[in-house]
Amino acid sequence: MAQTPSGMKAAYILFGLATIACGTDNFQGPAWTPESLCPTSISASIGFSGGDWCAVEPNSAYCRFPNTTIIHNALTHCPAVEELDMYFEVGGCTGPEVDRWNLPVELSQEGQKYPPLKRLKLDGYSFGGLWERTEEEPVDPKDVTDVKLYEDEWDDDESRWLPNQWIDKKNGWVQEAWERDGKTKTNLDMWIEAMDWSQLEELSINTRRSEMVEVGSKLPQRLTSLKSLHLNSLGFVQGLKEHTLEKLKWVGKTKKGQLEQILRLQGESLRSVEYRCDEASCSDWPQHVNISAIADLAPHLQHISLNMPRVNGTWPFEDLNALANIPSLTSAELYFRLQSDCELYGQYLGRCFRCGKAWQEWREENRETGHCHGDQRYASPFLNATTAQEMFAYLRSHKVGTKLEEIGFKAGDWTGPYDGPLRLEEFLDGQRVMITCRSDNHQNVCENVRTSEYMD
What is this structure's pTM? Answer: 0.81
d(CA 444, CA 80): 46
pLDDT of residue 162: 44
pLDDT of residue 419: 61
pLDDT of residue 5: 45
Nearest CA to 337 out of 426, 277, 408, 387 is that of 277
For residue 215, give every residue at least 6 positions away whose Cβ sits within 8 Å of its Cβ, in sequence order, or none: 127, 188, 205, 207, 233, 236
Coil, helix or strand at residue 288:
coil
Predicted confidence pLDDT, tens digits, the chain (456 residues): 344 444 434 443 343 444 444 444 444 457 899 999 999 999 998 876 444 666 777 777 778 898 899 999 999 999 999 999 999 876 555 555 566 888 999 888 888 999 999 999 999 898 875 444 333 444 343 333 333 222 333 333 333 344 556 656 766 776 677 677 776 788 899 999 999 999 999 999 997 665 788 899 999 999 999 999 999 999 999 999 999 999 999 999 999 999 999 999 999 999 999 999 999 888 889 889 999 999 999 999 999 999 999 998 999 999 999 999 999 999 999 999 999 999 999 888 888 888 888 888 888 888 888 889 899 999 999 999 999 999 999 999 999 999 999 999 999 998 876 666 556 668 888 899 999 999 887 788 999 876 666 655
pLDDT of residue 244: 98
pLDDT of residue 116: 98
- In angstroms, the Cα distances linking 203 to 121, 230, 258 are 6, 6, 20
H/E stretch holding 407 = strand 406-412
For residue 227, give every residue at least 6 positions away whose Cβ sits within 8 Å of its Cβ, in sequence order, or none: 201, 202, 244, 245, 246, 247
Coil, helix or strand at residue 274:
strand
pLDDT of residue 66: 86
Residue 212: phi and psi, rounded to 5, are -70, -20
Nearest CA to 47 out of 90, 84, 104 is that of 90
pLDDT of residue 420: 60
Q: Are strands 406-412 and 228-230 parallel, antiparallel or unpaired?
A: unpaired
H/E stretch holding 18 = helix 5-22
Residues 293, 299, 300, CA angle at the centre, nearest 5°?
A: 135
